[in-house]
Amino acid sequence: MKTGAARVPTFAGEECDMSTWDAGKCPVRDVMDQIAGKWSTLLLQALADKPYRFGELRRLVPDISQRMLTQTLRDLQRDGYIDRKVFPTKPPSVEYSMTPLGLSLFEPLKRVLDWAEANHASVKAARVKFDESELA
Amino acid sequence: MKTGAARVPTFAGEECDMSTWDAGKCPVRDVMDQIAGKWSTLLLQALADKPYRFGELRRLVPDISQRMLTQTLRDLQRDGYIDRKVFPTKPPSVEYSMTPLGLSLFEPLKRVLDWAEANHASVKAARVKFDESELA
DNA sequence: AGTGCTAGTCTCTTTTTGAGACCAAAGATC
DNA sequence: GATCTTTGGTCTCAAAAAGAGACTAGCACT
């Protein structure tokens, strides 16, 4: 068998040729590669609550650099999850808010985040156990 | 207001001081930082189907480097999502499989992946629209 | 004896990310 | 009126992470 068309059921139950899982061909990877960023879920979570301005988000997530905040927000905007409104105030202010698409994404995403919070202890325990066995 | 304790509802409905969102203190970030890797969801998806061996996974995901495959698998194992079994065959083979914890995580995660597949078209459309307006 | 399979590791290069300076205009401060 | 602050960024440079490919070991098959 020479890399012969390995098939794995996709999430929707259909099949997907994983050997063609180049980020552009597989819908799931194409979408997930963006969501799976270090800051994406964090910003989506914040904006799911209410709209925020650039500076507010920067203060909200203390350890994000302005550079990555700018870039992540633009990527999320590009994929249609968030909306960017510029207000022509004295120093122009910019407000970011969720789009309907972003909110619909956040629905299932929130379940994963809920899981993370609920199972944090189990994960930490697994880590300790793993690190101990590695120590040997 | 000097970075005054911004509070945002957490996923479980509780509140979480986001200014203390250092990856170690916020459970969600601690867990998500691992899951949100480029390859993590991909490998979890594959293993949710059935156990795979190292080489099988490498062939399954054509554009992952051995280096990252090794590392991602070890990280997933460390967090308790997958199990690693070594068989003392002629050339020793290693089988990776989901743990109960991993399967329980994959349940909500699958919903996000389903969403990604279902809404791929909308995302692509948003990208085109964004890129066109940028062009101006 | 040579080749290939296994699951990795090691090194080197390229990409991504983080830290911090810099920007321009208006308002407040002194 | 000169300076400082605040706005949302961009630009540059250093550090960290990821990708590419060579290399390892023991055994089987030819």
Confidence of residue A10 (pLDDT cuts 50, 70, 90): very low
Confidence of residue B136 (pLDDT cuts 50, 70, 90): low
Rg (CA), chain A: 19
> Which of chain B's residues have a Cβ under 8 Å away from the Cβ of A102?
none
Please tell me the distance from the alpha carbon of residue A120 to that of residue B31, in angstroms, as a whole number.
7
Decide which of B102 and A6 is more confident. B102
Are A117 and B35 in contact (CB < 8 Å)? no
pTM: 0.86
Write down how long chain B is: 136
Instruction: Judge whether residue A23 has pLDDT over 70.
Output: no
Instruction: Judge whether residue B1 has pLDDT over 60.
Output: no
Please tell me the distance from the alpha carbon of residue B18 to that of residue B6, in angstroms, as a whole number.
6
- Mean pLDDT over each residue of chain A, to the nearest integer: 85
Please tell me the distance from the alpha carbon of residue A63 to that of residue B84, in angstroms, as a whole number.
34
Q: Which two tokens stand for residue A32?
A: 């997930």
Mean pLDDT of A63-81: 96
Angstrom CA distances, A26 to A31, B42, B73, stand at 9, 11, 21
Decide which of A85 and B24 is more confident. A85
Side chain identity at residue B77, one-letter code: Q
For the domain covering B10-135, report its CATH number: 1.10.10.10
Mean pLDDT of B108-124: 96
Q: Where are the domains of chain A?
A: 10-135
Predicted confidence at residue A72, as pLDDT, reads: 97
Instruction: Judge whether residue B20 has pLDDT over 60.
Output: no
Predicted confidence at residue B11, as pLDDT, reads: 37
- Strands (DSSP E) contained in chain A are 7-9, 15-17, 52-53, 82-87, 93-98
Confidence of residue A24 (pLDDT cuts 50, 70, 90): low
B8 vs A8, A49, A115: nearest CB: A49
Q: From the CA of A6, how many Å to the nearest CA of chain B?
A: 6
Do residues B35 and A42 touch, judged by C-beta distance below 8 A?
no
Please state the ipTM of this predicted complex.
Answer: 0.86
The number of beta carbons lying within 10 Å of the beta carbon of residue B132 is 9
Predicted confidence at residue B91, as pLDDT, reads: 84
Predicted confidence at residue A7, as pLDDT, reads: 43
Mean pLDDT of A97-116: 97
Predicted confidence at residue B23, as pLDDT, reads: 58
Instruction: Judge whether residue A2 has pLDDT over 50.
Output: no
Mean pLDDT of B60-89: 95
Q: What pairing do the DSSP bridges indicate for beta strands B93-98 and B52-53?
A: antiparallel
Confidence of residue A37 (pLDDT cuts 50, 70, 90): very high
- In angstroms, how far is C12 C1' from B65 CA? 15
Q: What pairing do the DSSP bridges indicate for beta strands A7-9 and B93-98?
A: unpaired
Report, in this order, helix, strand and coil percent for chain B, each rounded to 5.
55, 15, 30
Range of weakest confidence among A15-29, A98-112, B40-54, B93-107: A15-29
Predicted confidence at residue B26, as pLDDT, reads: 86
The number of helix segments (H) and strand segments (E) in chain A equals 6, 5
- In angstroms, how far is C27 C1' from A93 CA? 15
Q: Which residues 6+ apart lie within 8 Å of A78 measured at CB?
A: B126, B127, B130, B131
B62 vs A21, A30, A120: nearest CB: A21
Decide which of B73 and A6 is more confident. B73
Decide which of B19 and A22 is more confident. A22
Please tell me the distance from the alpha carbon of residue B81 to that of residue A59, in angstroms, as a whole number.
33
The bases of strand C with some atom under 7 A from any protein CB are 4-11, 17-21, 24-27
Mean pLDDT of A69-94: 95
